[in-house]
C-alpha cells in the first residue's frame, strides 16, 4: 500500500532531480532495492530509517508520514 511517506519520498526524489533511483538510494544510505520497496509500498521503513529519511530530506518526508495513525509521544499518567 502506498502511504503518504512513499508519495512524499517520490516527490522529494523528483524535486532533487536525481537521474536514477539508485542515486537517490545512495544519498539516503540504502540500497536501490529497499528504496523501491518503500516507494511501491511493499515495505515500510523502520523507526530508525524514518528518522534518517526525515533528516536527509530536511523534513520534506517527516518520520510520521510513514504511519497511518498519529504517534502519541507523551507519557501516560498513572
What domain range includes position 15? 4-66
Cell readout for 5 is 511517506
Specify if 27 maps to a domain: yes
pLDDT in tens, 32-46: 999 999 999 999 999
What lies within 8 Å, CB to CB, of 32 at 6+ separation is: 20, 21, 22, 25
pLDDT in tens, 15-70: 999 999 999 999 999 999 999 999 999 999 999 999 999 999 999 999 999 987 65
Helix, strand or coil, per DSSP, at residue 74? coil
Specify if 43 maps to a domain: yes
Total of domains in the chain: 1
Specify if 75 maps to a domain: no
Specify if 77 maps to a domain: no
Q: Is the pTM of this model over 0.85?
A: no
Specify if 29 maps to a domain: yes
Specify if 71 maps to a domain: no
Q: What's the CATH code of the domain at 59?
A: 1.10.260
Specify if 55 maps to a domain: yes
Amino acid at each position: 500500500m502506498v502511504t503518504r511517506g512513499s508519495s512524499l519520498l517520490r516527490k522529494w526524489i523528483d524535486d532533487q532531480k536525481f537521474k536514477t533511483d539508485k542515486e537517490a538510494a545512495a544519498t539516503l544510505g540504502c540500497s536501490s532495492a529497499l528504496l523501491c520497496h518503500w516507494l511501491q509500498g511493499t515495505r515500510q521503513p523502520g523507526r530508525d530509517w524514518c528518522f534518517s529519511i526525515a533528516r536527509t530530506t530536511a523534513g520534506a518526508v517527516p518520520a510520521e508520514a510513514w504511519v497511518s495513525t498519529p504517534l502519541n509521544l507523551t507519557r501516560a499518567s498513572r
